[in-house]
Amino acid sequence: MARNAEAPTARLYENIARTLEQAIEVGRYKPGGRLPSERELSDEFGVSRPVVREAIIVLEMRGLVQRRHGAGVYVAAKTPLKPSPADEADGPFEVTEARRLLEGEIAALAALAATDKQIEEMEAIIARIGDMRTDQATREQADRAFHVALARATNNDVLIGLVESLWDKRYQSPLCVYFFSRARDAGIQPPVDEHQVVLDALKARDPDAARQAMRDHLARVTQNLLIATEADVMDRARLRVEERRFDFARRAGVKL
């Protein structure tokens, strides 16, 4: 497949990602099967290898392929549901910022409205978050359960629905799935102590402390995402430099 000379270099990887995604959808590349190597794809599309690498990153973010160290890139065994355009655009930083604004106020309201029984239930959930005998997925489910239980303590169905919706985006948006999986790979765990600070503020019936504790907790989530994906950002910047280097070499007639 020849390279389109009119296509902007900055968008080439998106076009290739789209073509590969369509190839996966029609069964050219089967679930569990290996994609061609970067060099093979580079020759097929008539582009440099950094462009192909960018396209593979896009497919990884969408959950369509998985990179196996030393073995290449494989089509995901189970193709994820195709996201809506809105879900595609929802990134983890936007979602976490929305949660920080919303759940800070929910925590403040819950400090005044939560019953003793609801507080006891949240304490039991925190114990599940910190139970290292269970796997990380189970602790993450407990993490979600705590935030939803906090919303339920407000007795406001709209707030409950908003919290559930924002949490669902974590598993539906390809960007969120990618970033949180990177955080998981980096060993970042749901923090028990930060949840406990929120609960202690509820027990003290202190809305200001509850609001601040929740905001601090979700600010830390943002910080952890930045730390976990710092290498990704550096890799993408390096790929941009490599692509420019390949372009200049090609213009000069240098064989790469």
CATH label of the domain that carries residue 17: 1.10.10.10
Shared domain check, 130 and 69? no
Query: CA-CA distance, 214 to 201, in Å (whole number)?
Result: 10
- Write down the pLDDT at residue 245: 64
pTM, 2 dp: 0.65
Task: Give the residue, 36 or 93, on which the prediction is more confident.
Answer: 36
Note down the domain range covering 14: 9-80
**Is position 239 within any domain?**
no
Pick from 183, 178, 176, 211: which is nearest to 197 by CA? 211
Number of domains in the chain: 2
Query: CA-CA distance, 120 to 128, in Å (whole number)?
Result: 13
Radius of gyration of the chain (CA): 22
Shared domain check, 23 and 110? no
Query: CA-CA distance, 187 to 155, in Å (whole number)?
Result: 35
Q: Which tokens hold the place of 7?
A: 């296509």
Question: Is the pLDDT reported for residue 84 higher than 60?
Answer: no
Helix, strand, or coil (residue 191): coil
CA angle 242, 71, 25 (to 5 degrees): 85
- Write down the pLDDT at residue 10: 44
Query: CA-CA distance, 236 to 243, in Å (whole number)?
Result: 11
Evaluate whether 94 touches 179 at the Cβ level (below 8 Å): no
Question: Is the pLDDT reported for residue 118 higher than 70?
Answer: yes
Shared domain check, 191 and 101? yes
Mean pLDDT is lowest, of 30-44, 119-133, 189-203, 229-243, for 229-243
Question: Is the pLDDT reported for residue 129 higher than 70?
Answer: yes
Characterize 85-115 residue by residue with b for buried, 16 or more Cβ atoms within 10 angstroms of its Cβ, and e for exposed: eebeebbbeebbebbbebbbbbbbbbbebbe
Shared domain check, 95 and 29? no
Torsions phi, psi for 74 (to 5 deg): -120, 145
Q: What is the mean pLDDT of residues 115-137?
A: 94
Helix, strand, or coil (residue 163): helix
- Write down the pLDDT at residue 255: 61
**Is position 247 within any domain?**
no
- Write down the pLDDT at residue 78: 66
Evaluate whether 23 touches 29 at the Cβ level (below 8 Å): yes
Q: How far is CA 1 from the centre of its chain?
A: 32
Shared domain check, 183 and 111? yes
- Write down the pLDDT at residue 15: 87
Shared domain check, 130 and 74? no
Shared domain check, 45 and 172? no
Shared domain check, 203 and 97? yes
Shared domain check, 214 and 126? yes
Torsions phi, psi for 68 (to 5 deg): -110, 120
Evaluate whether 70 touches 34 at the Cβ level (below 8 Å): no
- Write down the pLDDT at residue 4: 43
Query: CA-CA distance, 139 to 73, in Å (whole number)?
Result: 29
In this prediction, residue 62 has a pLDDT band, given cuts at 50, 70 and 90, of confident
Cβ neighbours for 84, distance < 8 A, ≥ 6 positions apart: none
Shared domain check, 64 and 119? no
**Is position 104 within any domain?**
yes
Shared domain check, 167 and 119? yes
Pick from 71, 82, 55, 69: which is nearest to 172 by CA? 82
- Write down the pLDDT at residue 232: 63
In this prediction, residue 55 has a pLDDT band, given cuts at 50, 70 and 90, of confident
In this prediction, residue 9 has a pLDDT band, given cuts at 50, 70 and 90, of very low
CA distances from 245 to 48, 218, 254 (A): 10, 40, 11
Q: What is the mean pLDDT of residues 182-195?
A: 84
Q: What is the pLDDT of residues 220-255, one digit of tens each?
A: 998 888 787 766 655 655 656 666 666 666 666 666
- Write down the pLDDT at residue 59: 86
Whole-number percent of the chain with pLDDT over 70? 80
- Write down the pLDDT at residue 89: 55
Torsions phi, psi for 34 (to 5 deg): -90, 135
